[in-house]
Structure 1
């Protein structure tokens, strides 16, 4: 019978308290024995338990303390001044890794540790801290944890304080134990609300909906059945001129090499945006420009500031591809997710950042920072700091709010604009950036010939020539979003506990109440109805594993989204296992605290 990893149930909790007493009071002498034979602490009820079991036999558990609780077990032993990393907003504490004595030589402990890492990564955790028993230090060093130079004593035990970056721990785990994990994968009954294995590149993208359609393109009829609300593609068709340009001679468009430097597209962008053509560079989507520009400008020694929550591609490129030193400018739900210009100015005033990235309107929060506020912050910032402003969704606000004119003259500022989302051209892959002529010229020199396909160039030019079509589509999007928000806000049986936040673009977010199902559970259940939503949990701990992003679709598909969410919540609400300790998940471990 295989090892099961699951979320803790109420019945598990009594066993957890009893096992903790047997191990930490009776066996190890860390705590005084309790006549009731149970060992509890002040974090019980708030932290997360992952449990390992084999059939009816419980084997072990691990406890996780997420940052949104605002307190950790280590607070009992060290002050925040003594251990400053406890102030990090994306720090998760791993603790009380405990296994029944007869199972300590099995894979239970390593699997519990792996499960904890996967659960933390799925909630946006970027760093972990743990108290490891000194005599088990080698086990923790082997998985990539490192001592911080602090030792604490509890009863008869001595612990080393250990920490590690989640990305680094993942890399060590896959390098050293990937083969073993792959072998165990078929033997483990994995019941956590996070996939067993991460994506190969470690980047969390949307787009699972295309997997449902079929990435081999043999079942494209499924596109009529799947509601792709997990990606932010436009719900509306491109302008009639786009379709006409593509349909006029598709054979020719498919077989003909495009203008090597996209000269016609550059000229059209310059005319549409009243910009000098020498301030422009084009790419096959904004990701192409991000990878190309950042690869030129940044090194592992570079300091970068990203908003959090923010578009995950920026964290992926800066942290995992280039290896920069990245800090987060935290946006807060209680502030309406807005960028406070005074707080941002204070964060960048020292000039220590080589690059600051601002997505405006922001994805995934949907909030827009007024151009005047950003101009003031940039004007006061150090000359050594470069600003990357991503305006992929600006059309949903007002193109007059663009900082493109500033970017054309200020060497510190670059504006990147995708033509995908606003112009219904996601499949075409076309984007451009605006920078001063010197910066733009350097990027053009590092651009390979034919960077944008001929069909994409034809489509983008035609789209830019029909602004009236898109203004109407953007206005209609606001009406559809408001209707969708109202319908989701009125879901039956949740007593108004669901929080729907609209923003200004073509998407909204839904946050589920604490104590109910997780975002991952809602996403998975909606997929049974061919409705695909985006779980925002991996992007930031600010979402606490409870928020999904939903793209605005047309009236019929929006109705399917609402129906799927209603049906999913009804199922999850009657499934007692899905609602227990939803901080809780299961794992396997060796005793440590």
Structure 2
């Protein structure tokens, strides 16, 4: 007899990670497909990680005690409001498992983070996808209209991955006030630190019993390879996430690196400021070339390409730039991570040669 796999698992969409960078004609190779921070670890962070590796024969602190205390102090919240996991996406999976199941609905904008359909389907719930506005941002009014008696959770991605815009704070606050209190609202702020728009959403200020913020050390803090993310929410919600999460998930070196990164935050945010400058260069350059690129409050830009998406992606790859094409119609396009200055200037040189 063959083992029976749950239908929700057997038919789950495949998450496609960014491909390795190709080598261009001049030996150039830049991976711009995974929104990674291009800067190497700071010496202090690396030293803390190496010291932690000397204790790799021991289990990590399952409660993430030191990291949780540091985060609580930094954010001005209680330690009982924080749940740490292996990246914000793992925290999302745990939270959805805690609040949604068969027969329920989870609403989220689309296009948005590729992991959302997978996370929802694994709970047995049904995805309700609401198209973005023409400016590639969320349509909060349409999301509110999609709420039904079966709705258990709503995902808001700000800044939105892969299109870039951030949700307006006052609009999101009004939206939350209008949604029934029994529905869990999850604000995914993985790219929070890259935002500069004055009216961008400030998720921490909106946390309440049915609203939680997801954050990560993968992007601005440059710890993508260690997988550390966290939730800030109501103590009951944070406790549910901790209860559902796998024991000992965040490794000893990962916890040490995250704590050291918080201590080195000023240096790390200097790097973020440089990436923001480079983002402006790429955005302005693409627009000067005639591309209708939406605003980005993240460490990537979205290049709408329609039926030319695969063609454009191949052109970037031929020059040694691996980007992230999304070929689904009608919103096909390419997400391009803001990388090293040399990579960003090569993006514009390739873009200048692209057919329109």
TM-score by length of 1: 0.54
Tell me the equivalent position of 1:553. Answer: 339
Shift of 1:422: 1.7
**What value does the CA root-mean-square deviation take over the aligned residues?**
2.8
1:508 to 301, 305, 308: 301
* 2:126 is equivalent to residue 325 of structure 1: yes
Tell me the equivalent position of 1:402. Answer: 202
- Pairwise mapping of residues 89-100 of structure 1 onto structure 2 (< 5 A)? none
* Aligned counterparts of 2:58 and 2:29: Cα–Cα separation in 1: 33
3-state SS in 2 of match to 1:518: helix
Shift of 1:352: 4.2
Contact 2:36 2:218 in 1 (8 A): yes
CA offsets 1:521-558 (integer angstroms, 9 cap, x no match) = 221332233310111234xx341x3x111000121121
* 2:193 is equivalent to residue 390 of structure 1: no
Tell me the equivalent position of 2:32. Answer: 229
* 2:89 is equivalent to residue 287 of structure 1: yes
CA offsets 1:272-299 (integer angstroms, 9 cap, x no match) = 1111000111101122112222223221
Tell me the equivalent position of 2:104. Answer: 302
Tell me the equivalent position of 1:380. Answer: 178
1:397 to 1:485, Cα distance in 2 relative to 1, 3 A: closer
* 2:314 is equivalent to residue 524 of structure 1: yes
* Aligned counterparts of 1:295 and 1:441: Cα–Cα separation in 2: 13
- Pairwise mapping of residues 163-562 of structure 1 onto structure 2 (< 5 A)? 202-209=13-20, 225-247=28-50, 249=51, 251-319=53-121, 321-333=122-134, 336-348=135-147, 351-397=149-195, 401-407=201-207, 410-491=208-289, 496=290, 498-512=291-305, 518-538=308-328, 541-543=329-331, 545=332, 547-562=333-348
Shift of 1:245: 1.5
Contact 1:523 1:535 in 2 (8 A): yes
3-state SS in 2 of match to 1:208: coil
- In our comparison, the structure showing a higher alpha carbon Rg is 1
Unaligned runs of 5+ in 2: 1-6
* Aligned counterparts of 1:292 and 1:318: Cα–Cα separation in 2: 11
Contact 1:482 1:502 in 2 (8 A): no
Contact 1:309 1:542 in 2 (8 A): no
- Displaced runs of 4+ in structure 1, greater than 6 A? none
CA offsets 1:447-485 (integer angstroms, 9 cap, x no match) = 333221111111111111233223322222221011122
* Aligned counterparts of 2:141 and 2:65: Cα–Cα separation in 1: 41
Shift of 1:406: 3.7
Tell me the equivalent position of 1:41. Answer: none
Shift of 1:255: 4.1
Contact 2:32 2:337 in 1 (8 A): yes
Shift of 1:566: 4.7
* Aligned counterparts of 2:163 and 2:85: Cα–Cα separation in 1: 26
Contact 2:72 2:78 in 1 (8 A): yes
3-state SS in 2 of match to 1:463: helix
Shift of 1:253: 4.9
CA offsets 1:491-530 (integer angstroms, 9 cap, x no match) = 5xxxx3x323341111111123x6xx62112213322333
- The answer to which structure, 1 or 2, has the higher relative contact order (CA under 8 A, 6+ apart) is 2
Contact 1:351 1:385 in 2 (8 A): no
CA offsets 1:238-262 (integer angstroms, 9 cap, x no match) = 4443123224x36505444322221
3-state SS in 2 of match to 1:209: coil
Contact 1:531 1:564 in 2 (8 A): no
Unaligned runs of 5+ in 1: 1-166, 172-200, 214-223, 574-578, 580-593
* Aligned counterparts of 1:262 and 1:423: Cα–Cα separation in 2: 18
Aligned residues: 344
* Aligned counterparts of 1:372 and 1:487: Cα–Cα separation in 2: 31
Tell me the equivalent position of 1:103. Answer: none
* Aligned counterparts of 2:243 and 2:118: Cα–Cα separation in 1: 25
